[in-house]
Chain A
Amino acid sequence: TQLLEQSPQFLSIQEGENLTVYCNSSSVFSSLQWYRQEPGEGPVLLVTVVTGGEVKKLKRLTFQFGDARKDSSLHITAAQPGDTGLYLCAGPTSGTYKYIFGTGTRLKVLA
């Protein structure tokens, strides 16, 4: 069974601090997606990583896909209150229409 474990589960930091969120699995994924979700809203896609070792940047957010395609990380530089939300990683299951979701990381950035 494919599982995605995220850590930490909850993070509360001050504005301007840096942070890293991890998404780990014992299974290989062909790609991983990262979403950010605000309360009562749908998940918004941040990035898809496909190639092992790939690094993608989205303004202050840096995403990395592990060389073995079993893990990914999200690093936020100089966090802002607007970064507050639930961060979810997700990956496709092979040969099906199902996506596996990570356990989620709730981030709160205090002004």
Chain B
Amino acid sequence: DTEVTQTPKHLVMGMTNKKSLKCEQHMGHRAMYWYKQKAKKPPELMFVYSYEKLSINESVPSRFSPECPNSSLLNLHLHALQPEDSALYLCASSQGLAGAGTQYFGPGTRLLVL
């Protein structure tokens, strides 16, 4: 099974709302990722968790707050977002270091900020 699941599929929120995106994998992968993708562009890395600890933060604004409750779950908490944050948010996982194996993606959450 190479499945990464994400909820919700779609999300519309106002600039004052607080919402969370959820991601889950049961492949035993120890690295989990959040990406942001704008239309017709490649995914842009936001955060990487390895062994449940934050390893990489690509200078993402603090209105995005990641959380890794356990080795299978990854959350992205959203607060006071801007309209330019509207995008497809992708979760991914891999076995460990990038060179150790392939990265698998979830179906994404389409976020619209009004």
| Interface, chain A (partner B; CB < 8 A) | 30-31, 33, 35, 39-45, 48, 86, 88, 90, 92-99, 101-104, 106
B98 touches A99 (CB 8 A): yes
Q: Which of A94, A101, A103 contacts B99 (CB 8 A)?
A: A94
A42 and B98 in contact (CB under 8 A), knowing A88-B42, A98-B56? no
Q: Which residues on the A side are within 8 Å of B90 (C-beta)?
A: 42-43
Q: Which residues on the B side are within 8 Å of A45 (C-beta)?
A: 2, 102, 104-105
**Further 9 A-B residue pairs, CB within 8 A, beyond A45-B104, A93-B98:** A30-B99, A42-B4, A48-B102, A88-B42, A94-B99, A97-B31, A97-B55, A99-B98, A103-B42
Q: Which residues on the A side are within 8 Å of B107 (C-beta)?
A: 41-42
The docked-state distance in angstroms from the alpha carbon of A48 to that of B106 is 17
Q: Which residues on the B side are within 8 Å of A101 (C-beta)?
A: 42-43
Q: Which of B6, B40, B48, B110 contacts A98 (CB 8 A)?
A: B48
Determine the residue in chain B with the shortest Cβ distance to A4.
B42
Determine the residue in chain A with the shortest Cβ distance to B50.
A97
Q: How many residues in B have their beta carbons less than 8 Å from beta carbons of A?
A: 31
> How far is the CB of A82 from the nearest CB of chain B, in Å?
18
Q: 15 interchain pairs (CB within 8 A)?
A: A31-B102, A42-B6, A42-B88, A42-B107, A45-B102, A45-B104, A92-B100, A94-B98, A95-B99, A97-B56, A98-B45, A98-B48, A101-B43, A103-B42, A106-B40
Q: Which residues on the B side are within 8 Å of A92 (C-beta)?
A: 97-100
A86 touches B40 (CB 8 A): yes
A97 touches B105 (CB 8 A): no
Q: Which of B55, B56, B99, B106 contacts A31 (CB 8 A)?
A: B99
Q: Which residues on the A side are within 8 Å of B41 (C-beta)?
A: 104
A40 and B110 in contact (CB under 8 A), knowing A95-B97, A98-B48? yes
Q: Which of A35, A86, A94 contacts B105 (CB 8 A)?
A: A35
